Amino acid sequence: MVDYITSVYETVVEKNPAQKEFHQAVKEVLESLRPAIEKHPEFKQHKILERIVEPERQVIFRVPWVDDKGEIHVNRGMRIQFNSAIGPYKGGIRFHPTVYEGIIKFLGFEQIFKNALTGLPMGGGKGGADFDPKGKSETEIMRFCQAFMLELFRHVGPDTDVPAGDIGVGTREIGYMFGVYKKIRNEFTGVLTGKGLEWGGSLVRTEATGYGVTYFAAEMLKVKNMDFKDKIVMISGSGNVAQYAVQKVTQLGGKVITVSDSDGTVYDPDGIDAKKLEYILELKNVKRGRIKEYADHFGGNIQYLPGRRPWRIGTHVDVAMPCATQNELDLEDARTLVNNGVKVVCEGANMPTTLDATDYLIKNGVAFGPGKAANAGGVATSGLEMAQNSQRLSWTWEEVDAKLKNIMVNIHRTAYETAQKYGYPGNYVVGANIAGFLKVAKAMIAQGVV
């Protein structure tokens, strides 16, 4: 059995050289599936692992565009359609200079299990481009999004593949891409999620990932007979996920003392209250400024720590929520967090914690909520947006928020109970991976060798 899992992993490394993030994600998932593979020999017989690590399809394409000065640029775009066993491919689009196949494959692979955990009929996929939106004008962003969709439209559709946002792609970018799709296809359909409210978007979608990760963390605290009231919380990032995690944690009585961006961290020992968050929303979503400006604006006890992440600030912390990017919390960070009293680490971002840091946290009794379970609120609400689009209906804020909360509570319960059932009590990584995998693997067997 050991040989089966190891040999599948080694083949992945051999066939996908230099895609280290993809290797990391596959390793984490395969290792934690061991008890399920032992219990169900049919998965080996049907070569489910060999099949699940290979994308059904990947498209790589040229994205040429013209900047405001008339100069031509060429970026690389891609869409990786990983698995459609339980529904149309679903997953975000990332615009960031670090994007390459290894990143999009890791995200697409994770997405398979995450989407299965939501209980909604969605397969896994992911896309993006190595385009850097920073410093680009509004018209340059529009032209890039249009150029990207001029190729992507061939490969997506409301019953085929429904992309959403991710790093560097918010409602603005989704709007520009939706406009081109609608024009070329001459149809108004739910081909993208994260749309504006006036044109098919769902209430709570913007807030969903940040709210969802907080609802998940609240469930983890509940298992420890605790809640967010008066808890000291460190959050990284200051984008979509971080912003609404700050909001929900604060509403539940927690005190958020950090936010960050790729330039540095803000440490606000007095806590980021609703008024200060309003400033962050304006700064990041409208002015598109840097988080340093928060410290300059509010002054007082607030410190700006250039080039640093939140985790090694030497102060007491109860809950840590990495909400920026992959591999942003390493072993040394984990050690510092444990020394400073952390009880729960809950991932808002995808794979923000390195494998050795994850092991260290779990071994030291920290409840660890992996992204594929904890940040599934975003894609779950995208699923709710798809349902509303299909019915030509819009649900109220209360309806969507209640469904989101219910989904997060169910994902938590599923991950918790599955971990217990397979002999790893309290290990949400094992629980989430096995629960998501079982659903997809059973569907793959039922649909034959395709």
Chain centroid, CA 157 distance in Å = 22
d(CA 112, CA 261): 28
CB of 246 to ligand NDP, least distance (A): 11
Candidate residues 77, 128, 165, 200; the one interacting with ligand NDP per rule CB under 6 A: 165
State which residue has the least CB distance to ligand NDP: 239
Residue bearing tokens 């840590």: 320
Candidate residues 104, 241, 321, 329; the one interacting with ligand NDP per rule CB under 6 A: 241
User: Of the listed pieces 72-80, 140-148, 256-264, 271-279, which binds ligand NDP according to CB under 6 A?
Assistant: 256-264
CA distances from 91 to 151, 160, 201 (A): 17, 12, 16
CA distances from 11 to 17, 107, 125 (A): 10, 19, 21
Candidate residues 102, 128, 239, 383; the one interacting with ligand NDP per rule CB under 6 A: 239
CB of 18 to ligand NDP, least distance (A): 18
Candidate residues 102, 124, 125, 348; the one interacting with ligand NDP per rule CB under 6 A: 348
- Among all residues, which ones are annotated catalytic? 126
CB closer to ligand NDP out of 115 and 250: 115
258 binds ligand NDP (CB under 6 A): no
322 binds ligand NDP (CB under 6 A): no
CB closer to ligand NDP out of 309 and 439: 309
CB of 240 to ligand NDP, least distance (A): 4
Q: Structure tokens of 309?
A: 């992440």
Site for ligand NDP in 26-85 (CB under 6 A): none
Pairing of strands 57-66, 72-83: antiparallel
Q: Which residues pair with 163 in a beta bridge?
A: 91
427 binds ligand NDP (CB under 6 A): no
CB of 237 to ligand NDP, least distance (A): 4
Buried b (16+ CB within 10 A) or exposed e, 250-262: bebebbbbbbbbe
Buried b (16+ CB within 10 A) or exposed e, 124-147: bbbbbbbbebeebeeebbbbbbbb
Coil, strand or helix at 364: coil
The residue ranges that bind ligand NDP (CB under 6 A) are: 165-168, 209, 237-242, 261-263, 323-325, 328, 348-350, 375, 378
